[in-house]
């Protein structure tokens, strides 16, 4: 009798394990892969959160995070359908690609915040106190670092300089990385740097003589810094998948907007490899819970880019670069959960 019970128990146990393995295999097989450009920066925090908290998994999605060293390469990858989702800064290259390809902006990834500055112009306190930082007769000797060209960093700087009647091309551009800004200031090899977080916090922590002179929100209030862009697959071929992806992303945004909680700090620190103390002090970019963008700011950016010869006229209107269907769907779904 006892032997029979053991045999029955063993059979049940083996059957359970076998069934569990089959279920696990089927579940894994049923997960749909979506390739996403993700970098270890603060503005990508909602992706890290959505992945770690299982929000993508809940939607039957297995995100495959892809990294590119240059934004132009990531844009090309979306055009040629090597990736499905582009998450990055607003730039002339992005607008040019949207004009010519099956891709559109579908969600917010960062807007200039009125509460803190995610992008700033840095300089030395000595230059500020001299009142000669933007002096016309000194400008040709100014050494400037700016992250790339034809993007919101250069747009921000040029808008600052317009107020002083200065041209960026008359100064000397310094070709270094963000990681070298602090050292360049310390070695008196740099006068001005336009950069973003977490570099602002790290640079100021390492050199007390560095200060923020102009903040992004002072020149470009509510400007659309970055956005989520879908390619052909999620826009047209599999829009239902695009809606599910957006639902997971916006759920990550909503948790992100709870602020610098211990849980969020742990996730972002692990993903970015940044020290928690830096993350606590740094400005986290504003991302709308509903995913809506400031389309008017992108039109203003295009007007500037056309004037600079960075994109060919005419500018593209809102309905040609912005598709709100995905965030509208996701916001409706998540509002029911709130």
pLDDT in tens, 35-64: 999 988 899 999 999 999 999 999 999 999
pLDDT tens digits, 231-247: 999 999 999 999 999 99
pLDDT tens digits, 184-198: 999 999 999 999 999
Rounded to two decimals, what is the model's pTM?
A: 0.88
Band of pLDDT at residue 148, cut at 50, 70 and 90: confident
**Under a CB-based contact definition with an 8 Å cutoff, are residues 254 and 247 in contact?**
no
| Mean pLDDT of all residues in 264-277 | 95
Give the pLDDT confidence score for residue 26 in this predicted structure.
41
State phi, psi for 149 to the nearest 5 degrees: -135, 160
| Mean pLDDT of all residues in 241-260 | 98
For the cut 60, the answer to whether the pLDDT of residue 277 exceeds it is: yes
pLDDT tens digits, 70-97: 777 899 999 999 999 999 999 999 999 9
Band of pLDDT at residue 68, cut at 50, 70 and 90: confident
Contacts of 197 (CB under 8 A, 6+ apart): 42, 118, 119, 282, 283, 284, 285
Same topology between domain 33-111+222-337 and domain 119-219: yes
Give the pLDDT confidence score for residue 29 in this predicted structure.
55
Q: How is the chain split into domains, by residue range?
A: 33-111+222-337, 119-219
Give the pLDDT confidence score for residue 263 in this predicted structure.
97
Neighbours of 213 (CB within 10 A): 18
Q: From 3.40.190.10, 3.65.10.10, 3.30.360.10, 3.30.1330.30, which CATH number describes the 33-111+222-337 domain?
A: 3.40.190.10
H or E stretch covering 66? strand 61-66
**Under a CB-based contact definition with an 8 Å cutoff, are residues 215 and 117 in contact?**
yes
| Mean pLDDT of all residues in 203-231 | 96
Q: From 1.20.120.530, 1.10.3660.10, 3.40.190.10, 3.40.50.1820, which CATH number describes the 119-219 domain?
A: 3.40.190.10
Percent of residues, the chain, with pLDDT higher than 90: 85
**Under a CB-based contact definition with an 8 Å cutoff, are residues 119 and 336 in contact?**
no
Rounded to the nearest integer, the mean pLDDT of the chain is 91
| Mean pLDDT of all residues in 161-172 | 95
Percent of residues, the chain, with pLDDT higher than 70: 91
For the cut 50, the answer to whether the pLDDT of residue 6 exceeds it is: no
| Mean pLDDT of all residues in 151-167 | 95
For the cut 90, the answer to whether the pLDDT of residue 5 exceeds it is: no
For the cut 70, the answer to whether the pLDDT of residue 116 exceeds it is: yes
Which candidate, 132, 75, 85, places its Cα nearest to that of 249? 85
Residue 229 CA to its chain's centroid (Å) = 11
Give the pLDDT confidence score for residue 41 in this predicted structure.
86
């Amino acid at each position: 009798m006892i032997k029979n019970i053991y045999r029955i128990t063993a059979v049940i146990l083996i059957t359970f394990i076998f069934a569990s393995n089959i279920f696990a295999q089927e579940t894994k097989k049923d997960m749909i892969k979506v390739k996403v450009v993700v970098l270890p920066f603060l503005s990508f925090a909602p992706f890290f959160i959505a992945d770690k908290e299982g929000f993508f998994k809940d939607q039957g999605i297995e995100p495959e995070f892809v990294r590119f060293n240059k934004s132009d390469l990531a844009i090309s990858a979306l055009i040629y359908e090597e990736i499905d989702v582009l998450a990055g800064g607003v730039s002339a290259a992005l607008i040019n690609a949207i004009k010519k390809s099956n891709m559109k902006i579908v969600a917010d990834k960062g807007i200039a915040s009125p509460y803190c500055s995610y992008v700033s112009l840095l300089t030395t306190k000595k230059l500020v106190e001299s009142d000669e930082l933007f002096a016309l007769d000194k400008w040709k000797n100014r050494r400037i670092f700016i992250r790339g060209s034809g993007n919101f960093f250069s747009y921000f700087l040029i808008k600052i300089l317009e107020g002083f009647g200065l041209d960026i091309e008359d100064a000397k551009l310094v070709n270094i990385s963000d990681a070298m800004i602090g050292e360049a200031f310390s070695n008196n090899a740099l006068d001005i740097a336009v950069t973003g977080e977490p570099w602002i916090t790290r640079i100021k922590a390492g050199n007390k003589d560095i200060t923020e002179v102009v903040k992004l929100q002072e020149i470009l209030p509510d400007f659309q810094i970055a956005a989520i862009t879908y390619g052909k697959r999620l826009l047209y071929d599999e829009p239902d998948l695009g809606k599910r992806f957006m639902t997971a992303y916006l759920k990550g945004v909503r948790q992100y907007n709870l602020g610098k909680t211990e849980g969020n700090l742990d996730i972002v620190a692990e993903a970015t490899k940044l020290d928690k103390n830096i993350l606590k002090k740094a400005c986290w970019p504003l991302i709308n819970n509903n995913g809506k963008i400031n389309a008017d700011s992108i039109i203003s950016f295009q007007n500037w880019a056309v004037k600079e010869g960075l994109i060919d006229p005419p500018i593209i209107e809102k309905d040609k670069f912005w598709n709100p269907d995905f965030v509208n769907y996701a916001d409706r779904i998540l509002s029911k959960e709130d």
